[in-house]
Structure 1
Amino acid sequence: MRLFGRKDDEEEAGEPGDGIAGFWVWWQESRPRVDALVAAGEAEKLSELIAPAVNAVHPGLVWEVAPGRNAAHALVVTAAGDAELRSRAHRWARAAPPADLLWEFHPSRQANPQAIDLTLDVGGFEFALDKLMLGLRVPRSTPRVDIAAYHPIFGELDDDTRMDAALLALDWLLGEDDVARWVGEITPATFQPIDAVAAAHLPAVVADVASGYAEEQWALLEGQTASGAPLVATARYPLRPVDYPLFDQHIAITLPYAHRDEFGLPVGDSVAALRDFEERLGARLLKLRDDAVLATHLSAEGHRVIHIYADPTGDAAIHAKELIVSWEEGEPRVDVASDPSWSAVVAFVN
Structure 2
Amino acid sequence: MRLFGRKDGEDGTGGHGTGGPGAGVPVFWAWWQEARPRVEAVVAAGDADGLAELLDPAVSALHPGLVWELAPGKEAAHALVVTAAGDAELRPLAHRWARAAPEGDLLWEFHPSRQADPRASERTFDMDGRTVELDKLTLGLRVPRDGSRVDVSAYHPIFGELDEDIRMEATLLALDWLLGEDDVARWVGEITPVTFEPIDAVAAAHLPAVVADLASDLAPGPGEEQWALLEGQTVSGAPLHASARHPLRPVDHPLLDRHIEITLPYRHRDEGGLPAVGSLSSLQSFEDRLTAGLLDRRETALLAVRLSAEGLRIFHLYADRDGDAHTWAEELVKGWNEGKARVQVSDDPAWTAVAPFLT
TM range (shorter): over 0.9
* Secondary structure class of the residue paired with 2:279: helix
Partner of 2:286: 277
Partner of 1:247: 256
Contact 1:13–1:59 (CA under 8 A) maintained in structure 2:
no
- Structure 1 Cα separation of the partners of residues 114 and 268 of structure 2: 51
Matches of residues 17-36 of structure 1 in structure 2 within 5 Å?
17=16, 18-36=23-41
Q: What's the Cα RMSD here?
A: 1.2
Partner of 2:169: 164
Partner of 1:265: 274
Shift of 1:65: 0.8
Q: Aligned pair 1:69/2:74, yes or no? A: yes
Shift of 1:319: 2.3
Shift of 1:220: 0.8
Shift of 1:272: 2.1
Shift of 1:13: 5.2
- Structure 2 Cα separation of the partners of residues 322 and 172 of structure 1: 46
Shift of 1:176: 0.3
Matches of residues 278-317 of structure 1 in structure 2 within 5 Å?
278-317=287-326
What residue identity is the alignment partner of 2:299?
D
User: Percent of pairs identical after alignment?
Assistant: 68
What residue identity is the alignment partner of 1:8?
D
Partner of 1:46: 51
- Structure 2 Cα separation of the partners of residues 7 and 14 of structure 1: 15
Partner of 2:108: 103
Partner of 1:119: 124
- Structure 1 Cα separation of the partners of residues 280 and 248 of structure 2: 25
Structure 2: stretches of 5+ with no match in the other structure: 17-22
* Secondary structure class of the residue paired with 2:177: helix
- Structure 1 Cα separation of the partners of residues 89 and 124 of structure 2: 31
Contact 1:79–1:108 (CA under 8 A) maintained in structure 2:
yes
Partner of 2:20: none
What residue identity is the alignment partner of 1:293?
L
Q: Aligned pair 1:129/2:138, yes or no? A: no
Shift of 1:212: 2.0
- Structure 2 Cα separation of the partners of residues 292 and 129 of structure 1: 40
* Secondary structure class of the residue paired with 1:84: coil
- Structure 2 Cα separation of the partners of residues 343 and 161 of structure 1: 28
Structure 1: stretches of 5+ with no match in the other structure: none
Partner of 1:212: 217
Deviation string 1:134-185 (CA, Å, 9 cap, x unpaired) is 1000001230000000111111111111101100000000000000000000
* Secondary structure class of the residue paired with 1:41: coil
Deviation string 1:104-148 (CA, Å, 9 cap, x unpaired) is 110000001111111122233321111111100000123000000
Partner of 2:5: 5
Q: Aligned pair 1:189/2:155, yes or no? A: no
TM-score, with length taken from structure 1:
0.97
Partner of 2:65: 60
Contact 1:294–1:309 (CA under 8 A) maintained in structure 2:
yes
What residue identity is the alignment partner of 1:301?
E
Choose the corresponding residue for 1:198, options 187, 191, 203.
203
Most deviating of 274-283 and 119-128: 119-128
* Secondary structure class of the residue paired with 1:255: strand
What residue identity is the alignment partner of 1:7?
K
- Structure 2 Cα separation of the partners of residues 203 and 62 of structure 1: 24
Shift of 1:321: 1.9
Shift of 1:103: 0.8
- Structure 1 Cα separation of the partners of residues 32 and 12 of structure 2: 22
Contact 2:147–2:214 (CA under 8 A) maintained in structure 1:
no
* Secondary structure class of the residue paired with 1:331: coil
* Secondary structure class of the residue paired with 1:317: helix
Choose the corresponding residue for 1:222, options 210, 231, 241.
231
* Secondary structure class of the residue paired with 2:349: coil
Choose the corresponding residue for 2:151, options 139, 146, 151.
146
- Structure 1 Cα separation of the partners of residues 311 and 332 of structure 2: 20
Shift of 1:273: 1.7
What residue identity is the alignment partner of 1:315?
D
Partner of 1:318: 327
Once superposed, which parts of structure 1, at least 4 consecutive aligned residues long, lie more than 3 Å away? 12-15
Deviation string 1:206-263 (CA, Å, 9 cap, x unpaired) is 0111112211311111122222222111000111001111101111111000111111
What residue identity is the alignment partner of 1:349?
L
* Secondary structure class of the residue paired with 2:299: coil
TM-score, with length taken from structure 2:
0.95
- Structure 2 Cα separation of the partners of residues 332 and 123 of structure 1: 56
Contact 2:229–2:243 (CA under 8 A) maintained in structure 1:
yes
